[in-house]
């Protein structure tokens, strides 16, 4: 069963890479050039002004690490809600060379309440946006901000994948 789950996870990773390459290939040359942003760049909206800088930084750090294609699976497990349930999938992604070129920029954090936040982010492949201006969530679990499981599940659903944790 574990091998079947790994095969599914690897296929899912492959589908993500293909979907990302397809989205990148469909981009228009007429798009206005934008200045490159660094992975640690954070812009907070007026609504997020109530979130203290340390909270914004913690949420941003969780997103940066979780979506860093070069980060080891065990570090990613610690950065996502229900991380232990996603372990086989995250291990398969870590072994996929195509997935290692992914990263993220965080464009904004809006605190909903003490344990939930909305996050605007862009998923990158080789530094180029492939899923720009996405809306995800962060949750505080055990005092630590993490990428919400719903955000990861939504990304898997885009490419036809799923997980029992979803």
Q: Is there a contact between 83 and 146 (Cβ–Cβ < 8 Å)?
A: yes
What pLDDT is attached to residue 50? 60
Give the domain CATH number at 16.
3.10.450
- Residue 91 included in any domain: yes
What pLDDT is attached to residue 29? 38
Helix ranges, 67-113 (H): 73-77, 83-95
- Residue 34 included in any domain: no
Domain coverage including residue 45: 2-25+39-158
Domain total for the chain?
1
Torsional sign, CA 134, 90, 66, 85? positive
Walking along the chain (166 residues) 10 residues at a time, the average pLDDT comes out as 42 39 34 38 45 94 97 97 94 90 96 96 96 97 96 90 85
What pLDDT is attached to residue 162? 82
| Packed helices 149-158 and 2-25: angle between N→C axes, nearest 10 degrees | 70
Q: CA–CA separation, 155 vs 104, rounded Å?
A: 13
pLDDT tens track for 62-94 = 999 999 999 999 999 999 999 999 999 999 989
What is the rounded end-to-end Cα distance, in angstroms, of the chain?
18
């Amino acid at each position: 069963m574990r091998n079947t789950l790994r095969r599914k996870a690897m296929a899912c990773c492959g589908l993500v890479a293909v979907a990302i390459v397809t989205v990148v290939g469909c981009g228009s040359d007429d798009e206005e050039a934008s200045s490159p942003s660094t992975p640690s760049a954070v812009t907070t909206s007026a609504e997020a002004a109530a979130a203290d800088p340390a909270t914004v930084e913690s949420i941003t750090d969780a997103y940066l690490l979780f979506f860093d294609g070069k980060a080891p699976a065990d570090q990613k497990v610690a950065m996502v809600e229900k991380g232990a349930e996603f372990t086989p999938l995250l291990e398969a992604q870590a072994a996929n060379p195509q997935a290692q070129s992914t990263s993220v920029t965080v464009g904004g954090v809006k605190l909903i309440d003490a344990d939930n936040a909305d996050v605007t982010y862009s998923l990158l492949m080789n530094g180029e946006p492939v899923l720009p201006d996405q809306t995800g969530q962060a949750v505080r679990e055990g005092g630590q901000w993490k990428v919400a499981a719903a955000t990861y599940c939504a990304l898997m659903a885009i490419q036809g994948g799923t997980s029992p944790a979803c």
